[in-house]
Structure formats: structure tokens, C-alpha cells
Structure 1
Amino acid sequence: MNHRTILCAALLALAATAVSGCGDRSAQEAARAAAQTAADEKAAREYADGFDAAVAAENWTLAKAQGDVLFARFPDTQQAARIRPHYEDAKAKADALREAARVAALWSYQAENVKGGQQLSAAIYSKEAVDTDGSGANPVRLIFRDHPTWGTSSYLVLQAGDFACYGGCKVKVKIDDAAPKSMPALRPDTDDAIAMFINDEKALWRMLKGATQVSVEFPVKAGGTRTAVFEVAGLDRKKLPGWD
């Protein structure tokens, strides 16, 4: 066998080895990819099963959380594809629950023993602070009160400035997108608090039923009017029994 023949044989053998090596690497990579896919599916199933269990229990907050993790960590799995059509409904319900809890927490309630019985109240601060006298913005408070001696009342309280309503005035009350309604009000001649009563408290209370937002435009001593907006959807009406 001459040198040329030997060289050709060696080159053919080397080429065959290279092809064989490439085939082995491709097979190994395919095997690794398949193993990773199987591992991802197994891990994803834990969250998908958790989602299913939370939905069955109507625990929408947990269902949303399980779905969020699943889509963040294993978005391309079959498990993610399976629950995706049901996720938006669970998310919407979880978001609604969170919003309901948020607006409910805006209200504060008190039951206080006073002379003659028990005073009950429900109060909420304005969504945004209001500058009522030029000194800067401060929250405005809306209060419904049931007193054993003084009866029922609704009133606004300022932290600064004053109302221009001594002797009586009109305020404009707007519920959501409805047209504003003019209501009589009165700033009592007292220094106990910077307060202005909205005279028909039961009417105002009824107006809040089913409402999301109420705004009250009122005159101020500094001149002109100001408007306070309250997110009232979370009011627990049972806190003032007998008002409805």
C-alpha cells in the first residue's frame, strides 16, 4: 500500500469519526432538552394543581398567585397553556376582592358610650387633600353620627380654614356620574370643631347606597368653593343600624 492510499484511508476514518461525534452530541443535546422539558412540566404541574385547588375552593387570591408564578417561571409548558384560559377570570375576581378590601379599609367606625346611651359613627377621609385656606392641602372628613341625645347627623370636618356657611348655605353633592344635587347645610356657631352639617343626613346616607364615589362642593371662608371627593364603596351600612 503506497503512502497516498494510506493517507486517503486515514482521512476517511477521521471524517467518519467526526460525523459519529456530531451525531452523539446532537443526541445528547436532544436528551438534555427532553429531560429539561420533563422537569419543567413536573415543576409547573405543582403550580397548576395549586391553581386548580384554589379555584375549586374559590380562593381567588391564591389562584392568581399560583398562576402568576407559573407564567413567570414556566410560561411555555403545557400546564401553563392548560390553565391560561381560566386565569383571567380568577385574576379579575382576585382584583375585585383586593379593591373591596382597600375601599372598606378607608372607613373607620366607632361605638362610644356617652351620656344617655351609645354614640355610633362612620367616618372617611377625602381621597385627596384639599387646600381650604391657602396654607396647604389637608384631608377633609365626612362623618355620619348617631347620638342618643342629639340624634342623627352628617357633617364635614376641616383641619384648617373654615366653611362660609354660618346661618346656612347650599352644598353640591355628586354621586359618581350623576348630576350634582343641591343640599342645605349649616356651619354651627361653635369652636369645638371646624364642622359643617349637611342637613338631610338620611337622604345623603341613602344616596351613598351602591355608590363608588361622592364629591361635595362647599363654600369656604377664604373665598369660593372647594370640592372633597370620597371613595365610599366600602361603607358597611350595618354599622349604623336603623339608617336604611
Structure 2
Amino acid sequence: MNRPLPRLSVALLLAAALLAAATACTDREAQRQAQAAAQAQAREQAAAQLQRDYDAAVAANNWELARVHGAALLAQYPGTPAAAAVEPALAEVAARAEAVRERRRLAALWDYARVAAGKGEQRSAAILSMAPVDTGGAGPAAVQLVLRDHPQWKRSAYLVLQGGDFDCYGGCKVKVRFDDAAPKAMSAWRPRTDEAIALFIEDHRGLWRQLRKAGRVEIEFPVKAGGARAAAFEAGGLDGGQMPGWD
């Protein structure tokens, strides 16, 4: 038969149990705090690494990469010292990145070609109109603007249609507008040939000079279908280095 424990023994056991429970709670809290501190430190270290990547991209003028690192830093590690350091300049970095992207887009609109011609080489730069134009053919189609340097025919600038025809066989005037400037009349002519539906602009030098400064050019020309049509080109990405001697 078991004897009941003395009251003192019961009290001691109860105190020991309470002490053990309190110690366990204290240990768990300390463990939780240590874990939280470690996570916070790891978070700040990761944020600091992204800031270093961001700073390196900015120093290299790689605005697109800098925007990626900066946006990731603010999204993943808000409230960190690294995020606070990067945030004030991120809007400007994003604007510069967008400008780089836009320059690349404009440059890609131009198509450059180099082909053997006679005893030399023909170079050309060509761009398609921003929107299709109804010139009296089977339906609206892009108009092409070409700048050409030929060893025999020399330099020229002309428009090419995919359908319809220009009404300019005896010579005519086209209206050329650069950006928001007033339209300028320029002499043009349509050669009597079936090789291409082309309209040559006589002042190719003046056209080139303005193209090198303008972001957009619109050319209005007469067509056989009646009246005039206008083709607009985003010309701001023209690379002068592709046409040596034109500048």
C-alpha cells in the first residue's frame, strides 16, 4: 500500500515542475528571439547585396539592370536600410531605363543594307511608315522611306509604295513636316520605270540633315488614285554611322 507523500514533498515537486515549465518557456522565447534576429540579419544582408548590385549597375550606366535590382530591393526587402538608401533615386533610374529602351526600339525600326554594286558598294537605310496608308492599291500598306548611296547613281532619298502609284511623273511638290514644325515643300519626281513604285525627293541632303535631328517625319505626296496621302515615320533612331559621309 502506497503511503501519501508528505505535504512538504508535494510542495517541492510542484515548485520544481513550475520552475521547469518557466525555464522551458524562457528557453523557447530566447530561441524565438535568436531565430528572429538571425532572420533579420539575413534579410538585411540580402538587401545589402542587392544594393551593391544596384550601385554597380548605376556606376556602369546600366540603367535597365539598375531598375531591376532597385525594384527587387524595394519589393522584397522594404523597410531595410538598403531600401531606404535606394528608393529616393529609383524613379530617375527607371526614367533613364525607359529612355534606353525607347532608343533601342527606335533604332530597331531602321533596316541597313550593304551590297556590292558595280565596282563599289551600295549602302542604304530604310524605314517603314508608322501605319499603313491607302495609296490606291489592293488595300492599305506600309510606305517605305529609303536613303541610298550608290557608287554610280550617287546619293538619293525616295519613297516606295507597295500598291497604287504616285502622281508625280512630270515632277511635283511633297510636303515634309519634321516633328511639330510647319510643313516644308520639297521638289520630287517619279521615274518612268516599272522596277519599283518610287518617288525621289530631290533635296536628299536637306532631308538627311533634318532626319538626324527630328524624332518624327511626315511626308505628304500626290497619288494617282486622287488627292494626297501622308506617311509618318518614327525616324529618331537613324544611325548616321551606317551612312558614311552623309553627316
TM > 0.5 fold call? yes
* Separation in 2, partners of 1:66, 1:155: 45
Q: Distance in 1 between matches of 2:37 and 2:164?
A: 72
Return the alpha-carbon distance in structure 1 between the equivalents of residues 224 and 33 of structure 2: 79
Offset, 1:219: 1.3
- Are 1:217 and 2:220 counterparts? yes
CA distance, structure 1, for counterparts of residue 188 and residue 137 of structure 2: 23
1:221 maps to amino acid: K
Determine the structure 1 residue equivalent to 2:125: 122
Task: Report the Cα offset of residue 204 of structure 1.
Answer: 0.7
1:221-240, aligned counterparts within 5 Å? 221-240=224-243
Alignment partner, residue 11 of structure 1 = none
Distance 1:33 1:202, change over 3 A: same
In the alignment, residue 210 of structure 1 is paired with which amino acid? K
* Offset of residue 78 of structure 1: 2.4
Sequence identity, in percent? Answer: 54
The equivalent of 2:148 in structure 1 is 145
TM-score (norm 2): 0.82
Change (3 A) 1:117 1:37: same
Q: CA 1:37–1:151 in 2, change beyond 3 Å: closer, same or farther?
A: same
Aligned letter for 1:238?
Answer: G
Deviates more, 1:26-35 or 1:135-144: 26-35
How many residues align? The count is: 227
Residue 184 of structure 2 aligns with an amino acid whose one-letter code is K
Q: Deviations over 1:94-127 (max 9, x none)?
A: 2222211111111111121111322111111112
Deviation of residue 38 (structure 1)? 3.5
Q: Which among 61, 65, 70 is matched to residue 68 of structure 2? A: 65
RMSD: 2.5
Equivalence for 1:86: 89
Q: From the superposition, tell whether residues 167 and 84 of structure 1 become closer, same or farther in structure 2 (CA, over 3 Å).
A: same
Map 1:176-195 onto structure 2 (within 5 A).
176-195=179-198
Instruction: Give unpaired runs (5+ residues) of structure 1.
Output: 1-19
Distance 1:74 1:127 in 2: 42
Rg larger for = 2
TM-score, normalised with respect to structure 1: 0.83
The one-letter code of the counterpart of 1:198 is I
2 CA distance for matches of 1:189 and 1:134?
Answer: 18
Specify the alignment match of 1:98 in structure 2: 101
Supply the AA of the counterpart residue of 1:233.
G
CA 1:238 to 1:57, structure 2 compared with 1: closer, same or farther past 3 Å? closer
Aligned-partner Cα distance in 1 for 2:136–2:76: 53
Tell me the CA shift for residue 36 of structure 1.
4.5
Whichever residue aligns with residue 88 of structure 1, its letter is A
Q: CA deviation at 1:185?
A: 0.9
Question: Residues 58 and 185 from structure 1, CA distance in 2 versus in 1: closer, same or farther, beyond 3 angstroms?
Answer: same
Which amino acid in 2 is paired with 1:96?
Answer: A
Q: Look up the SS of the partner of 1:113 in the other structure.
A: strand
Matched, 1:39 2:42: yes
Residue deviations 1:153-198 (CA, integer Å, cap 9, x gap): 1000011111111211111101011111011111111110011111
* Contact 2:54–2:70 (8 Å) recurs in 1: yes
Q: Determine the structure 2 residue equivalent to 1:166.
A: 169
C-alpha separation in 2, matches of 1:66 and 1:198: 48
For the residue of structure 2 that corresponds to 1:41, the secondary structure is helix
**Cα distance in 1 for residues equivalent to 2:200 and 2:168:** 9
